[in-house]
Structure 1
Amino acid sequence: MDATPEIILATRVRDQLKADKQAVFADFNAHGHVGHLLTRLRRAVDAALVEAWRGLGLPDDSALVAVGGYGRGELFPFSDVDVLLLLPSEPGEDTTSRLEKFIGLCWDLGLEIGSAVRTVDDCIRESRQDVTIQTSLLEARLLTGNRKLFAELQTRYQADLDPRAFFQAKLLEMRQRHAKYQDTPYSLEPNSKESPGGLRDLQVILWMTKAAGLGDSWKELFERGLLSEREAQELARNERLLKTIRARLHLVAGRRQDVLVFDLQTALAEAFGYRQNNNKRASEQLMRRYYWAAKAVTQLNIVLLLNIEAMLFPSESKVTRVINERFVERQGMLEITSDDLYEREPHAILETFLVYERTPGVKGLSPRTLRGLYNARTVMDASWRNDPVNRRLFLAIVQEPQGITHALRLMNQTSVLGRYLINFRRIVGQMQHDLFHVYTVDQHILMVVRNMRRFAIVEHTHEFPFCSQLMATFDRPWVLWVAALFHDIAKGRGGDHSKLGTADARRFCKQHGIEREDADLIAWLVEHHLTMSHVAQKQDLTDADVIHAFARVVGTERYMTALYLLTVADIRGTSPKVWNAWKGKLLEDLYRITLRVLGGARVDPHSLWAQRRDDTIAQLRLKAFDPELGKPLWSQLDVAFFLRHDARDIAWLTRHLYNKVDSPVPVVKARLSPAGEGLQVAVYIKDQPDVFARICGYFERKSFSIQEAKIHTTRHGYALDTFQVTDPGISSDASGNYRDIIALVEHELAERLQQQGALAEPTQGRLSRQSRSFPIKPRVDLRPDERGQYYLLSLSANDRTGLLYAISRVLAKHRTSVHTARINTLGERVEDVFLVDGSRLASDNKLQLQLEQDLLAALAI
């Protein structure tokens, strides 16, 4: 059967386009000129579309128009090809059929086509209603067809375009986009196109200036006075890098891929010629270069936006007030009074941020100020850093009661912070491959400072009331801001960053004349900023020795409060996924217990037991429950049980178990967790070696995440275990869906525990992308506690579905009973700690070795 003309056309055009693309890609791989790549690729697609349009005999009175980025004349390897099929009137049946064939042929050619069929009237009407369509038409380019029709579109479009309204719409759109990406260019997996500091930010500027008739290239913006020559060159250079990154990312991925995901960062870096060295991975070297480019784009983008706004709205850019001889306020922006201020008076650089903090109503820096700071970078040298006046100014900035977070962010954004604190400059744009930090080191530090400041702001007291209460009475809180600024400043240097950062902090305090008492606290906080989270999440808080040892490290109430506030702020500043209410409860419990010890109290198990019993009785009476009914259950519980559970938990368990002390069937009870998230689940069952594994297996199959497990065996051989579990589907909203989940858990888990038989094989859960890119070597550490009664089992590995069940299954296999379990998930990494029965382990070294080997095997699967 002979091929149809359409098939012949499609084959010819497709083969030619494929050959053209291969030639373009080969040239790019050989020479790396991204401008040639984008232009030649666009020309190849132009030729294919024109030949297809003409080959199908589309009407002479219609036109094929390139729009969007393709209309701009640039095409990335796997980007969409956006076209407008412009018609003089509504199409008839024959024209519609031909247009459908054309669009189908485009897909056959392998093009990611985005098409719209409109008349001129349609285009104008749609552009008025949708700024995205209005933007795509701004860069319309005729490919083939009726020139007169295309000219009519351009004339009517320009007449209908309101540059001011367009500016406002694009500005709002950009703010929404930035918010989607957490308002930072420093995400560990940034979008090279859409993230702040990405290519879209540059395109938005040129759209705005083109709509306003101010130019559509950096050279033209320089000629119109919107940019200095140096700024235009910087933008062009950084734009070239971002385009090269995006183009190579497409080619490495073999598809449209704009997010620099961990999976592709190494291959992308190697495509740029980076190789791993002793200090940094290839991906880290490339990503730091990306972050510095994105930072420069963000900085210059602000300058341009403010300059464009001043030109479009000239009546709104008058001086509002004079602050002093060096600074004025111009419509809410702090502005220098002369362009060469910073060269003449270098002290004014830091004074800028102090004035910013102290001037109510100022919400940012003007284009003139930002430009002055950008061009004063050579002034900020070693002598400038060591100037006593500048040291007093910097200390005054961090000691101001208002505006510290915004000031430090502005200082980092304008590179002033990194040039004043030279060690801070080293961590700007530095990635963290621990799989729970989602920001670069510098952004994490500023997030921690922000979190600390929010504890001191009335409007944020509802977020962490207890932290706000402590901050309200903390003397000289600026000490905490300094500690936060230094706590991770030594990341990536090799060695213990806490120790190295302590040395940096002490040097800073000495140079800035900070009194000994405050300097000691700052240095101590930097050295011990991980201590409290380690104790709270990995050690037994009911162990008096643990509490007393921690109290000895802390020493005083002021140190305790400072460390608690820094710890909460630090964990919250790592990732939205890492903080949860249960971790908050652990930290608060440790704070309160330690504070009592620092006040002179002794952790006496018997007095604590008596207090806990009395508090439980009070809780039961509040529920109109006779405490006498609980005595049969309590007689089977030892002191350790009362120490490990608070009065509310014991009262809850008593009300549900008082008449089931010798229950022949499992009893499961659940409720919304008092900690504020997820469920608290209690299991009461005749003890058996694999009961912990069976419970973990159930939770794993239901996709629950176990935060903590408290395992207890009664005097008459029953397991009384409580679990804190979380699930995204559980909430305490009015819909009541959590009640159904609670009922389901109670029924299903009790039924499952009655079933006998071998434990099911664990699910072979897949590692996440991040875990595959940055694997953690599994670690197992098994050692006896000081008394030798129990063994402390610490495990570290990449997280995956079914991991906890796999661990519990190994413990069940070796008949090793779990006393407590602290499940600590840090992003994509788990750091779990179990207290296990040591009676068999202490007398059998071979068993210890086999248990460790089997656990390592389970972690490595």
Structure 2
Amino acid sequence: MTIRRVPSQRAIIDRRALAEQIAALHGAGGASARAAIVAALRAALDEGRRELNHRLEETPSAGHEVTAGFSFLIDQLLRVIHDHVTTHLYPVPNATQAERLAILAVGGYGRAEMAPHSDIDVAFITPGKRAPWCEQVIETMLYLLWDLGLKVGHSSRTVADTIRMAREDLTIRTALLESRLVWGEQALYEELRTRFWNEVVKGSERQFLAEKLAERNARHKRMGDSRYVVEPNVKEGKGGLRDLQTLYWIGKYVHRVGSAAELVDVGLFTQNEYRTFRRAEAFLLAARCHMHILTDRAEDRLTFDLQRQVAERMQFADRPGKSAVERFMQYYFMQVKRVGSLTGVFLAHLDEEMAKKRSRTGFFAGWTQRPRMFKGYIVEGGRLRAPGDAWFRADPVRLIEVFQLAEAEGLEIHPETMRQAGRDAKLIDGKLRRDRRANALFLDLLSGRKDPETSLRWMNETGVFGRFVPDFGRVNAQMQFDMYHHYTVDEHTIRAIGLLSQIERGLLAGDHPRATREFPKLASRRALYVAVLLHDIAKGRGGDHSVLGADVAYKLGPRFGLDEKETDLVAWLVLQHLLMSRTAQKRDLTDPKTIEDFVTEVQSLERLRNLAILTAVDIRAVGPGTWNSWKGQLLGELYDAAQERLRLGHKGNGRKGRVTAKKDAVQRLLGDADHLVDTIGAQLGDAYWIAEPEDIIASNLVQYDAAIASKNQLSIACEVDETRGATRVSVIAADHPGLFYRMAGGIHLAGANIIDARIHTARSGYAVDNFLVQDQNGQPFREAGQMARIEKGIRDALLAQVELVPKLAARPLAHSRAKAFDVAPRVDFDNDASNHFTVIEVTARDRPALLNRLAHALYKANLIVHSAHITAYGEAAADTFYVTDLTASKIKAPDRLAEIEAALLAAASDQRQQQLEKA
């Protein structure tokens, strides 16, 4: 392999001048000149890096040129160092056969694709018998390289050892595949190469292909198994540089090509596909170089903070509705998407080649499965293939039909047909988009009963999806710059459609029993599939995507073939697709006004069913771990309450009837201890009985009774609540001002996150408070030691045995990556959401003990907190409080509201700590 030509080489490093300088230094100082020689080498290295960094700044996308430049710089340094060591330190006037050495660049260095902080992978190859001279030279060279601060991955082997180990080790075989002679004995290198191709590669092509694909699949799984994760690994992630390199390795191994360009000659790529290959590779290499320079280390993960900086360095600019970083990441995802398309075509060709070479033996020798015709297509080996190159040009509607048939029949699409579809996607124009048959086929595909997700993903890979539905094309590869969404908008949408299909087929009944049960009752299943497709369709347009998306729905519904009633339903679902999750997670579901307001908007059981299922798939498709049993519990409670209200209207139980029914249910749960409802339960007002579920009330009454019996002034109970996906912490203590914020601080000190809190005061003057808490991963605390730590944290905080402010301030941020985002604190008041309370919602950057600080601000403002509901959205948190003043009244005076807002903004902002310390 030859290194690609690097322009203005002497501006990077002048090897001849450097060699002369080192020779002069050695001549003047002999062995004592080592420090000066290292200094000269380091100066040359630093100067070369500066020049290449400058070139990258001048041409931010010059990935190939800059990585080749870094490889050239190391080549020249290695040559100078080798010549210095063999000429000045260990000269051999008459070298024997054993005193020969070849220095090989391997791995990425061998490919001449080195980022600024890439490891330098070098193989020192010696003849069959290694001489002491070789060992001296290798050791001295390595020490000089290490003194320069270079990370050198090295091996030192004989030709025979190298061949033997390559047969056994896939990594060594791959490294040798990319080897390049940097300096030394050409004949030794040629001997190794000849033996490698004849003794290692020959006959092992199929094994290498299988092992490389298995290695790739394992790597994808480690990296999230999607090319659309929002913090991708540029090197190892799906669709990243390693995937491109894997294609090259396989192609080279099977066809013995010397460069990626030769993959065109052997028919694995078309010329256009090769240009796509090079464009994606250049962009990814450039992005990686920028990342290394920005972090001053070998950083390959494109984290949120780096995304802004790399976007700026690569000269992406803001556009209306889309920031520079979102445009940069959209371009990034378009490149990795193309890598995925290339991979499919490439591997399919190889698979066919291997199949032709594979000889059959035994009973089935000479037998091949006969292809069959299906609606004009060829079906062979479970794959659907177009019968000719002009198939789509003859009737462009087939560009939709092929994906619909694949879904309906459970077939794969032949990669050659995928290639044709990608090439001919440009045939899709306004006339085809209005074609009734094309739209009917698309609607059948979208609401397919087998696996619409896979076929839609294929459709998206070819570009047909975005051409046929241009509104979808606008969100193609569009990321959402936050820590909540894990995938790009198009990937999130396709995953949501897949989840909807799984729910319909009963595959997610364990996690979504209600959705599975209600799905068959839908009046129009296809309307819900269209709603899921369109719910985020208007993101990135600079306005409320729900409102803008509803407008899109009114336009696309009739085009797809929906009737007026179905279109109205889809538009409403898109407009209100966040209503149910916001209500469930941010409002008190035991407050009748919450249910009344929700039902006023929903209006019908049909809408409720559709919205509930859409909400479930939308949350779950956000990313791994986003859906949990707590969210399922909240949505279920809201659904059941709304369903009852819609069915019975105002005929449902009034307040008194609800309390009586709840008491009867708790008595049944308590069994022999049912008398506690009439004794201790009498101390608790109707608000408590309405707010708390039966199982928690029963537990509270038993705990209260035990506390009285033991004359315990403070009782703390921790219990895993699997149904709610959290640990329940119940505290019974003498009520006093500031109790809530102190308890919250104690829980935070124990490392727990509060997701829900209900605060009650009994007629006896004791507080009965119930918290639901989770760990940093959104899971319940289960270990006895963890629960003991929570109990100690609360006890210490309430008994003033610990200073909360400095202790909480010292806790590290849960998400240090959150610093990459600007989350401006915001306070909203709502006096209409409840008949009895003022509802305050505070949105701020999520940080340790945010709830404690906000609760402290409310305490200082002389407000009583009755319940708190906490929702995390990645880097942001929304904390909702139901409060009254000291007279149990709502807060309505404008100046009072302004005063409270200022206090909460100070608590939520970066200056919050100073505010607390002054208090």
Query: Do both proteins adopt the same fold according to a TM-score greater than 0.5, normalized to the shorter chain?
Result: yes
Work out the CA distance in 2 between the residues paired with 1:354 and 1:843: 58
- Cα deviation, residue 94, structure 1: 7.4
Q: Who is 1:722 aligned against?
A: 770
Work out the CA distance in 2 between the residues paired with 1:729 and 1:407: 33
2:211 to 148, 165, 169: 169
- 2:746 touches 2:796 (CA, 8 Å); kept in 1? no
- Cα deviation, residue 433, structure 1: 2.7
Q: Who is 1:78 aligned against?
A: 117
Q: Who is 2:644 aligned against?
A: 596
Alpha-carbon spacing, 1:268–1:757, altered in 2? closer, same or farther (3 Å): closer
1:682 is paired with a residue whose SS is strand
Tell me the amino acid that sits aligned with residue 215 of structure 2.
E
Work out the CA distance in 1 between the residues paired with 2:893 and 2:407: 66
- Cα deviation, residue 738, structure 1: 1.7
Work out the CA distance in 2 between the residues paired with 1:783 and 1:509: 35
Compare 115-124 and 446-455 and name the one that shifted more: 115-124
Work out the CA distance in 2 between the residues paired with 1:237 and 1:786: 54
Deviations 1:658-677 (A, max 9, x none): 24248452100010024342
Q: Who is 1:236 aligned against?
A: 278
Deviations 1:286-306 (A, max 9, x none): 222222222122112210111
Alpha-carbon spacing, 1:757–1:314, altered in 2? closer, same or farther (3 Å): closer
Tell me the amino acid that sits aligned with residue 397 of structure 1.
L
- Within-5 A mapping of 1:801-820: 801-820=848-867
Q: Who is 1:755 aligned against?
A: 800
Q: Who is 1:829 aligned against?
A: 876
- Report the identity percentage: 30
- Within-5 A mapping of 1:529-548: 529-548=577-596
Tell me the amino acid that sits aligned with residue 694 of structure 2.
A
2:885 to 833, 838, 846: 838
Compare 523-532 and 257-266 and name the one that shifted more: 257-266
Q: Who is 1:30 aligned against?
A: 58
Work out the CA distance in 2 between the residues paired with 1:93 and 1:819: 82
Work out the CA distance in 2 between the residues paired with 1:455 and 1:658: 45
Q: Who is 1:40 aligned against?
A: 69
- Cα deviation, residue 20, structure 1: 2.5
Q: Who is 2:825 aligned against?
A: 778
Work out the CA distance in 2 between the residues paired with 1:199 and 1:583: 38
2:222 to 176, 180, 203: 180
What TM-score, normalized by structure 1, do the two folds share? 0.94
Compare 670-679 and 368-377 and name the one that shifted more: 670-679
Deviations 1:576-606 (A, max 9, x none): 2433221111100000111111111525221
2:769 is paired with a residue whose SS is strand
Deviations 1:20-59 (A, max 9, x none): 2323333343345433322232121011112223433478
Deviations 1:321-358 (A, max 9, x none): 32425322232222111111111121211110111012
Instruction: Indicate whether 1:678 and 2:678 are aligned.
Output: no
Deviations 1:222-241 (A, max 9, x none): 22222222222222223222
Deviations 1:178-201 (A, max 9, x none): 223333322222222222222222
Alpha-carbon spacing, 1:659–1:286, altered in 2? closer, same or farther (3 Å): closer
Instruction: Indicate whether 1:227 and 2:272 are aligned.
Output: no
Compare 187-196 and 89-98 and name the one that shifted more: 89-98
Deviations 1:488-529 (A, max 9, x none): 101111222112111211222212332333222222211111
Compare 517-526 and 533-542 and name the one that shifted more: 517-526
Q: Who is 1:358 aligned against?
A: 408
What TM-score, normalized by structure 2, do the two folds share? 0.88
Work out the CA distance in 2 between the residues paired with 1:854 and 1:437: 31
Deviations 1:434-467 (A, max 9, x none): 4311211111111211221221234433333332
- Cα deviation, residue 380, structure 1: 1.2
Q: Who is 1:858 aligned against?
A: 907
**RMSD (Å) for aligned C-alpha atoms:** 2.6
Tell me the amino acid that sits aligned with residue 745 of structure 1.
I
Work out the CA distance in 1 between the residues paired with 2:898 and 2:468: 53
Alpha-carbon spacing, 1:31–1:781, altered in 2? closer, same or farther (3 Å): closer
Tell me the amino acid that sits aligned with residue 877 of structure 2.
V
Q: Who is 2:525 aligned against?
A: 477
Deviations 1:722-776 (A, max 9, x none): 01000158978xxx96233234433553354233687534416548454322211
Q: Who is 1:608 aligned against?
A: 658
Alpha-carbon spacing, 1:127–1:757, altered in 2? closer, same or farther (3 Å): closer
- 2:326 touches 2:481 (CA, 8 Å); kept in 1? no
Q: Who is 1:586 aligned against?
A: 634
Alpha-carbon spacing, 1:157–1:236, altered in 2? closer, same or farther (3 Å): same
- Within-5 A mapping of 1:393-412: 393-412=441-460
- Within-5 A mapping of 1:461-472: 461-472=509-520
- Cα deviation, residue 140, structure 1: 1.1
Instruction: Indicate whether 1:707 and 2:755 are aligned.
Output: yes
- How many residues are matched? 853
Q: Who is 2:309 aligned against?
A: 267
Work out the CA distance in 1 between the residues paired with 2:881 and 2:132: 74
- Within-5 A mapping of 1:283-294: 283-294=325-336
Q: Who is 2:783 aligned against?
A: 738
- 1:67 touches 1:140 (CA, 8 Å); kept in 2? yes
- Cα deviation, residue 7, structure 1: 2.6
Q: Which runs of no fewer than 5 residues in structure 2 stay unpaired?
A: 1-28, 91-97, 360-367, 911-919
Q: Who is 1:13 aligned against?
A: 41
- Within-5 A mapping of 1:619-638: 619-621=669-671, 625-638=672-685
Work out the CA distance in 1 between the residues paired with 2:310 and 2:872: 30
Work out the CA distance in 2 between the residues paired with 1:757 and 1:770: 30
Work out the CA distance in 2 between the residues paired with 1:90 and 1:721: 80
Q: Who is 2:847 aligned against?
A: 800
Alpha-carbon spacing, 1:277–1:767, altered in 2? closer, same or farther (3 Å): farther
Deviations 1:141-198 (A, max 9, x none): 1222333433333233222121111111111112222223333322222222222222
- 1:214 touches 1:224 (CA, 8 Å); kept in 2? no
Work out the CA distance in 2 between the residues paired with 1:741 and 1:211: 54
- 1:327 touches 1:334 (CA, 8 Å); kept in 2? yes
Tell me the amino acid that sits aligned with residue 608 of structure 2.
M
Work out the CA distance in 2 between the residues paired with 1:27 and 1:842: 62
- Cα deviation, residue 136, structure 1: 1.0
Work out the CA distance in 1 between the residues paired with 2:408 and 2:542: 39
- 2:884 touches 2:891 (CA, 8 Å); kept in 1? no
- Cα deviation, residue 786, structure 1: 6.8
Q: Who is 1:657 aligned against?
A: 704
- 1:790 touches 1:838 (CA, 8 Å); kept in 2? no
Work out the CA distance in 1 between the residues paired with 2:72 and 2:611: 62
- Within-5 A mapping of 1:635-654: 635-654=682-701
Tell me the amino acid that sits aligned with residue 467 of structure 1.
A
Tell me the amino acid that sits aligned with residue 200 of structure 2.
D
- 1:325 touches 1:337 (CA, 8 Å); kept in 2? no
Tell me the amino acid that sits aligned with residue 274 of structure 1.
F
Deviations 1:256-310 (A, max 9, x none): 2222222122332222222224332222222222222221221122101111221
Q: Who is 1:433 aligned against?
A: 481
- Cα deviation, residue 372, structure 1: 0.5
Tell me the amino acid that sits aligned with residue 445 of structure 1.
T
Work out the CA distance in 2 between the residues paired with 1:850 and 1:488: 37
2:85 to 36, 56, 61: 56
Compare 710-719 and 778-787 and name the one that shifted more: 778-787
- 1:398 touches 1:481 (CA, 8 Å); kept in 2? yes
1:310 to 332, 349, 352: 352
